[in-house]
Amino acid sequence: MNERSAVPPSARTTIRRLPELANHDRATFYSILDESYVCHIAFSANNDTHCIPTAHWRKDDYLYIHGSNGSRLIKSLAAGVQTSVAITLLDGLVLAKSAFSHSMNYRSAVIYGHFEIVQGSAEKLEALDVFMDKIAMGRKEEARRGNSKEIAATNILRISLTEVAVKISDSGPSDKDEDIDLPVWAGILPMKMTRGSPVHNENNKDVIIPDYVKTWAD
């Protein structure tokens, strides 16, 4: 394994359940983050444990999120609380001959660490540009850029992608020998996120439709 691309496990991220599904390739890990739009963040605040979904994006070796000053999530993470961030892509249901052997195909990443605040307007704008590129390449040149008041009202936080557990399941059913000849259908029922026809806003008169809108739908 390439040293640069390796994500060596820590005590927290060593995969104990089905260790054969552990995947330590950094390119695979990053493709999970880049393909998904929403992560779930676990953190503690006021003696409660919370699990909150939010949009994410990646720049280099950091995962970024953003939010407003008033949010409990942002305030707690900005205060430096230990956190765990999970991203999961579901790829299908795996139907086996026996009920017990049913499973799912998925790609997941669980990140551990602490978020840090991205300081400085230039740094914040640069991070937001990467987010806009993820939404649609070229869009950052079209939409009105954030002004100083808007940038100031947006908190951007990032977490280093150093302590992670990546788990991938992408195979057919695995039945016991004694079940293999049962007259039961077995196989994979695939699932994937697809893109539907764009809904045009009414105030788009005289607006040239960008290619990323024209080609959006699958």
Q: Which of residues 79-118 bind a copy of itself (CB under 8 A)?
A: 81-86, 88, 90, 92-93, 95-100, 102, 104, 106, 108, 110, 112
Q: How far is CA 47 from the centre of its chain?
A: 27
- Best CA proximity match to 71, nearest among 129, 154, 151: 154
CA–CA gap between residue 63 and residue 38 (Å, rounded): 11
CA–CA gap between residue 56 and residue 118 (Å, rounded): 14
**Residues in contact with 196: Cβ distance below 8 Å, sequence separation at least 6, in sequence order:** 217, 218
Candidates 23-31, 34-42, 56-64, 116-124: pick the segment binding a copy of itself (CB under 8 A): 34-42
For a copy of itself, the binding residue among 55, 78, 117, 130 (CB under 8 A) is 55
Q: Does 48 bind a copy of itself (CB under 8 A)?
A: yes
Dig out the tokens for 81 from the structure: 């609380």
Q: Does 189 bind a copy of itself (CB under 8 A)?
A: yes
List binders of a copy of itself among 150-169 (CB under 8 A).
150, 154
For a copy of itself, the binding residue among 49, 119, 122, 148 (CB under 8 A) is 49
Q: Does 177 bind a copy of itself (CB under 8 A)?
A: no
Give, rounded to a whole angstrom, the gap between the first and last alpha carbons of the chain. 35
Name the minimum Å distance from CB 118 to a copy of itself: 16
Q: Does 17 bind a copy of itself (CB under 8 A)?
A: yes
CA–CA gap between residue 103 and residue 187 (Å, rounded): 11
CA–CA gap between residue 12 and residue 149 (Å, rounded): 40
- Considering beta carbons, is residue 124 or 158 the nearer one to a copy of itself? 124
- Considering beta carbons, is residue 3 or 185 the nearer one to a copy of itself? 185
For a copy of itself, the binding residue among 52, 78, 117, 130 (CB under 8 A) is 52
Q: Does 128 bind a copy of itself (CB under 8 A)?
A: yes
Give the DSSP H/E element, type plus range, for residue 121: helix 121-135
Q: Does 132 bind a copy of itself (CB under 8 A)?
A: yes
CA–CA gap between residue 98 and residue 173 (Å, rounded): 10
Dig out the tokens for 85 from the structure: 């961030």
Name the minimum Å distance from CB 180 to a copy of itself: 5
Name the minimum Å distance from CB 60 to a copy of itself: 21
